Chain A
């Protein structure tokens, strides 16, 4: 319980003070309420005895209720403010963190997962922090205060009321434990069903052919059955402790009533106090029973807090304090070794130099490490060993902004934001004039089709979504790179997914982009890179050959093999008629 409070306050970050203040207010409000109920004892007694001080007690009750209302008003205001500000701050922190954490770590999470953290989990935390805690405090503190006050009336009665709490606590723990287990079981069952569903949907074309669909899709149906079994088990076994808790609270009231009746019959207690205690017990029974339900909320909150801090606690890649300036646009790898978490080395002792304004191509089979080279350059992750320099400066000594200034990257998959084309281009240079935009678009061979769009450069990418072909999107991304005008251009098989017509247009755009730049290209089609200054052949993370086209052909090694294989497939026919 205390840990939960601590987590909660930590989760509020710089707004922890607001949280503390609101908790204090809740606390005070609960005490006021407890005292208000305790006032029923003297008030009832005065009423039954026909004493005149009944109005005094009534006035005291009015006072307490007014104080409580004021406290709750202040608390509501505070909590609402906190709720909004904590959500804002947490999302803002998360946003910054996503930009700072290694892309390698980020890439392991799906978009849906991250969205769930940034939107869903943040809501869970603030909502529960905002609302549930004051309710919880109320449920615990108000009855406790009343019980304490009852000691002044009759200690046996107070003890009878007190029995409820110590008995309830171990049950509460059991509820939390059982809850965690159920949650795990059903979560696993859900995950299992999710992957079978995806499999089913993706496999429908094949499964339909063999009629293994719907009720006959045995793999899917059995995972649905397992899920229901897990859920059932949760209801039948998992809820026993909370059922017991409810029973305990309900029976407790009867016990309290019985004790009060017994005491009164033996003349140890006046009837007014006995009636008061029954009324109070009934008033508190409902919220006390709710207590068990609330434990679920804390599970949710705890899970949400953990998921948020899991992201926030990823250490960012260390960056330089600035002050270093790359001298020139040459790139060098010195004895670089790299492995993704938990796998074998992807790059092993790789060293090469890319002189300024030269063209260097990386070739090799998939898994050879050629994409990793480009990723390390842009600091997707840092090498385990060795040094990567740009313009003579270790990439780790540059700030992220300074490093990214050096590179333009054209990926195979183009990402455009759901914004206007102009804004997508301006991403590269926020201050660019319209004329600069047009010049970049012309260079990238995309001005004509952009101008033909209904709103020209102001057309929103999302609105026309499917209307932009892959090649057109690629050319917009190249225009963006042209506008950025970075000294080093990295091309990651930019035309491999395009049709012939688009390919030619994109090729012209690339010609404009790479003029006078240092170019690093990850190539599949060897014919495109025969003019490279150096071709680096990677295999299983090592450089096995390096040189220009003619020299490599002369060596009659792996490159020559690849070249011959590609030359032969150029003349391959799907089926010779």
Chain B
């Protein structure tokens, strides 16, 4: 037997399901899935070794069964050769030991191979992530990517570590058994296989509607999955509109649907599956062998030891058919994961020159840039040309979806343009190395990212060689020094805690600004909305940003128009095009789109919530006084 497969963490529930419902995908042997085999190619050596050892184990096992024949012959002999008999028992012991050792080593080889594969794949994938467009990384999100790199890679384990040797064995052992049976006695061999045609007919009936049913069940499960997520995420809304039934309805409907589909599927396939399972178990074959074997023995056409050997061997060969069927499950599961892994691998890496061209100054230029997100019908940007001189402030404005965030993201090369070019310091961003580009452009538009490291370590990410004094100076400039020293027990050596959760949003934001200050890049890209994630600390963040932007080329995605009235140029975007560009006063005077936005902005600023009654406080006061 193969030692426990417990180190595989995925619940091997499918075996259980199959024991009651149906063996999976019998009609579609997924063993041929080329993607699966190509993913495991790096550990081919270990897997081959494991499979070879498993074959040896299977052979030794069949051999130990075959030893029944000579042993039984000696035992039933009137004058048994005692010495030979003990040698045979010793041979049995040797076969059993060999079977045992080869299986243990096979297990070891396949598991160590599987673990090595996990690490290899993860390293490869994280390497890959470092070179794909950052926009892809941001869009997919850390949750999805983590799931691929961790969970999908992990779900290969059941296949690589457990299925491969089991497969080799499940094929080798019955094959050898079959050969042995025909060599020993072809009549009994045929009898042993008599059940197979019946079983195949039963399987045919069992699987006739199986695939369709399976698809329906999968679809119902998928829907259940979605609804559960929705139900959980929307729980605060669910409760708010809870009248005892309605909000629960979507969940309940999905649940009913899943249950009904499952019931129907079972109803349809249950009979055939049951018959197939019964036929491929040991006892029916024992029965057939005896029914014909007894008269054969009595008429002297077969001797007792031969019959006994077949009674052990025949059912063993028959029984090994079913594992072949349920072994498909890990493959089916792994295939889905392999698809996701392959999809990630297929994301094109951005071209990166070995030795790039360094930017000449702190300017940024968009030259006739067009860009479209994958899978979208419309251009996010079309024919955009903007020039941002070194040391100037450019504000990008427009309604949501106008393309202002896309402009901001193209500068640090989150995506590559479809047409035109983005130039930083006069050099096409595609001709720069990542270090050159990232050494020129800082951006503050993600939710602030902090490592689970010390405060100083987090700030130093901007410049690994910075001295303590430089780190502190940056923190002071970012208005962070004060709270670091006053609020954190270990000051700069305080560990930030899991994903920075021990700090408020504004504090985290200021640490990332300190990092950017230390980085001292000539170009700063800023998203105003996320920069002010914590409105309570707005004032301090203002100060920090002013420090960061001093003397730099600043590109800001603006939401509150009042903050950018002094900008050197305001670029108004609409549906991916630059519709207006100029200074505040000029744009207002043009009475175009910007002027409209400006007046809307003012209206929004002036908005007040109104009370249904104005005399309330007097009442409260009156009540309080009584």
A527 touching B7 in the complex, CB below 8 Å, given contacts A204-B130, A533-B611: no
Chain B stretch 507-535: residues in CB contact (< 8 A) with chain A: 515, 519, 526, 528-529, 534-535
Q: How many angstroms between the C-alpha atoms of A399 and B508 in the bound complex?
A: 41
Q: Is A20 an interface residue (CB 8 A)?
A: no
User: Shortest Cβ distance from B257 into chain A, in angstroms?
Assistant: 11
Residue in contact with B20 in the complex, picked from A79, A290, A573, CB distance below 8 Å = A79
B312–A282 touching, CB < 8 Å: yes
Known contacts being A61-B290, A533-B611, is A76 close to B20, with CB within 8 Å?
A: yes
- B225 close to chain A: CB less than 8 A: yes
Q: Give min CB distance, B119 to chain A, whole Å.
A: 5
Give the size category of A's interface with B. Answer: 35 or more
Q: Which residue of A lies closest to B453 (CB)?
A: A219
Q: Which residues of A contact B2 (CB under 8 A)?
A: 246, 293
**Chain B residue at minimal CB-CB distance from A527:** B605
How far, in Å, is B127 (CB) from chain A's closest CB?
A: 3
Asked if A42 lies at the interface with its beta carbon under 8 angstroms from chain B, I say no
Q: Are B239 and A469 in contact (CB under 8 A)?
A: no
- Interface membership of chain A positions 55-67, coded 1 if the CB is closer than 8 angstroms to chain B and 0 otherwise: 1001001100100
A254-B604 in contact (CB<8A): no
What 0/1 pattern do residues 171 to 204 of A give for CB contact below 8 A with B? 0000100010011001100100111011111111
User: What's the minimum C-beta distance from B601 to chain A, rounded to whole angstroms?
Assistant: 5
User: Would you call A235 an interface residue if the criterion is a C-beta within 8 Å of the partner chain's C-beta atoms?
Assistant: yes
Interface residues of chain A: helix, strand, loop or mixed (majority): helix
Residues of chain A with a CB closer than 8 A to B195's CB: none
Contact B259 A575 (CB under 8 A): no
Contact for B13 among A300, A504, A517, CB less than 8 A: A300
B562→A58 contact, CB < 8 A: no
A33-B283, A250-B100, A533-B617 known; A500 and B19 CB under 8 Å? no
Task: Say yes or no for B386: interface residue by CB 8 A criterion.
Answer: no
- Would B536 and A203 count as touching, CB distance under 8 A? no
A514, B609: Cα distance in complex, Å: 8
| Inter-chain contact A265/B82, CB cutoff 8 Å | yes
Asked if B234 and A358 sit within 8 Å, CB to CB, the answer is no
Q: Which residues of B contact A504 (CB under 8 A)?
A: 600, 603-604, 607
Tell me the smallest distance from the CB of A68 to a CB of chain B, in Å. Answer: 7
B300 to chain A, nearest CB (A): 11
The reply to whether the CB of A334 lies closer than 8 angstroms to some CB of chain B is: no
Q: Nearest A residue to B104 by beta-carbon distance?
A: A243
> Beyond A203-B449, A243-B104, A275-B305, is A573–B566 a contact (Cβ under 8 Å)?
yes
Q: In whole angstroms, how far apart are the Cα atoms of A516 and B281 in the complex?
A: 75
> Which chain B residues lie closer than 8 Å to A127 at the CB level?
13-14, 16-17, 20
Complex Cα distance, B14 from A40, in Å, reads: 34
Given contacts A211-B434, A353-B620, contact A43 B290 (CB under 8 A): yes
Question: Are A243's CB and B240's CB within 8 A?
Answer: no
Contact B259 A88 (CB under 8 A): yes
Choose among A65, A249, A417, A532 the residue that contacts B284 (Cβ–Cβ < 8 A). Answer: A65
| Inter-chain contacts of A296 with B (CB < 8 A) | 4-6, 12
| Chain A residues numbered 319-360 whose CB sits less than 8 Å from any CB in chain B | 353, 355, 357-359
CB contacts under 8 Å to A, within B181-219, are: none
Q: Are B20 and A358 in contact (CB under 8 A)?
A: no
A278 proximity list for chain B (CB < 8 A): 68, 71-72, 308, 312
Beta-carbon nearest neighbor of B541 in chain A: A569
Asked if B242 contacts A99 (CB within 8 A), the reply is: yes
Given the complex, which residues of A lie within 8 Å of B449, measured CB to CB? 202-203, 205-206
Residue A15 lies at the interface, judged by CB distance under 8 Å to chain B: no
Q: Once the chains are docked, how many angstroms separate the CA of A118 from the CA of B464?
A: 46
Docked complex: B128-142 residues within 8 A CB-CB of A: 128-131, 134, 137, 141-142
Bound complex: CA A247 to CA B393 (Å): 76
Contact with A along B56-95 (1 / 0, CB 8 A): 0000000011001001100110001010011001001100
Quote the shortest CB–CB distance from B266 to chain A (angstroms).
5
A1 surroundings in chain B (CB, below 8 A): none
Residue of A nearest to B298 (CB): A50
Partner of A573, one of B18, B89, B146, B564: B564
Closest to A506 in B: B604
Instruction: Determine the distance from Cα of A83 to Cα of B7 in the docked complex, in whole angstroms.
Output: 27
Known contacts A204-B137, A401-B242; A257 and B71 CB within 8 A of each other: yes
Q: A47-B304, A300-B11, A576-B566 are in contact. Are A279 and B312 (CB under 8 A)?
A: yes
A292 close to B3 (CB less than 8 A)? yes
Interface flags for B429-462 (1: CB within 8 Å of A; 0: not) read 0000011001100010010010111000000011
User: B549 touches which one: A292, A430, A574 (CB < 8 A)?
Assistant: A574
Residues of A within 8 Å of B263, CB to CB, are 84
A239–B611 CB distance below 8 A: no
Q: How far is the CA of A33 from the CA of B112 in the complex (A)?
A: 39
Complex CA gap A69/B129 in Å reads 56
The interface residues of chain B, by DSSP majority, are classed as helix
Please, which residue of chain A has its CB at the minimum distance from the CB of B535?
A524
Which of A158-166, A220-228, A386-394, A449-457 contacts its partner?
Answer: A220-228
Residue of B nearest to A178 (CB): B6
Instruction: Give the distance in Å from the alpha carbon of A200 to the alpha carbon of B103 in the complex.
Output: 39
B499–A198 touching, CB < 8 Å? yes
Within 8 A of B (CB), among A516-544: 516-519, 521, 524-525, 527-534
List B contacts of A293 (CB < 8 A).
1-2, 4-5
- Contacts of B434 on A, CB cut-off 8 Å? 208-209, 211
At the interface with chain B, which of A148-156, A403-411, A434-442? Answer: A403-411
Within 8 A of B (CB), among A262-299: 264-265, 271-272, 274-276, 278-279, 282-283, 286, 289-290, 292-293, 295-297, 299
The answer to whether A428 has its CB under 8 Å from any CB of chain B is yes
Assembly CA distance A119 to B498 (angstroms): 28
**Does A548 belong to the interface (CB within 8 Å)?**
yes
> Residue A167 at the B interface, CB < 8 A?
no
Are the C-beta atoms of A215 and B123 separated by less than 8 Å? Answer: yes
Q: Which residues from 401 to 449 on chain A have a C-beta closer than 8 Å to any C-beta of chain B?
A: 401, 404-405, 407-409, 411, 415, 417-419, 427-428, 430
Are A415 and B130 touching (Cβ within 8 A)?
A: no
B568 nearest CB neighbor, chain A only: A577
- Which residues of chain B are near A527, meaning CB under 8 Å? 605-606, 608
Q: Which residue of B lies closest to A68 (CB)?
A: B283
Kindly state whether residue B228 has any CB partner on chain A within 8 Å. yes
Residue of B nearest to A471 (CB): B400
Q: What CA separation (Å) do A383 and B100 show in the bound complex?
A: 63
A503 at interface (Cβ–Cβ under 8 A)?
A: yes
Say yes or no: B103 contacts A246, CB within 8 Å: yes
Cβ-defined contact, A415 with B304, below 8 A:
no
Q: Roughly how many angstroms separate A470 CA and B529 CA in the complex, as a whole number?
A: 13
CA A365 to CA B542, docked complex, whole Å: 17
Question: B235 contacts which chain A residues (CB < 8 A)?
Answer: 98-99, 103, 106
> B12 to A297, Cβ gap below 8 A?
yes
**Min distance, Cβ A520 to any Cβ of chain B, angstroms:** 11
Taken together as a complex, chains A and B put the C-alpha atoms of A65 and B285 apart, in Å, by: 11
User: What residues of chain A lie closer than 8 Å to B270, measured between beta carbons?
Assistant: 76-77, 80
A251: nearest residue on chain B (CB-CB)? B96
- Could you say which of B115, B461, B612 has the most chain A C-beta atoms within 10 Å of its C-beta? B612
Partner of A198, one of B9, B65, B143, B412: B143
When chains A and B are docked, how far (Å) is the Cα of A236 from the Cα of B109? Answer: 11
Supposing A131-B17, A131-B20, A533-B613 touch, asked if A228 and B232 sit within 8 A by C-beta, the answer is no
Inter-chain contact B399/A499, CB cutoff 8 Å = yes
A570 and B562 within 8 A (CB): yes
18 pairs of residues in contact across A and B, judged by CB atoms under 8 Å: A198-B499, A201-B129, A205-B412, A209-B434, A209-B519, A227-B119, A235-B111, A246-B1, A297-B16, A400-B239, A514-B610, A518-B612, A521-B609, A565-B538, A565-B539, A572-B563, A574-B564, A576-B566
The 8 closest A-B pairs by CB, nearest first: A131-B19, A289-B1, A209-B438, A213-B130, A214-B127, A131-B16, A359-B611, A127-B16
Contacts beyond the supplied A115-B225, A119-B225: 15 A-B pairs with Cβ under 8 Å: A44-B304, A47-B304, A103-B239, A204-B129, A228-B118, A251-B93, A251-B96, A279-B311, A286-B1, A290-B1, A292-B3, A293-B4, A297-B13, A565-B539, A573-B564
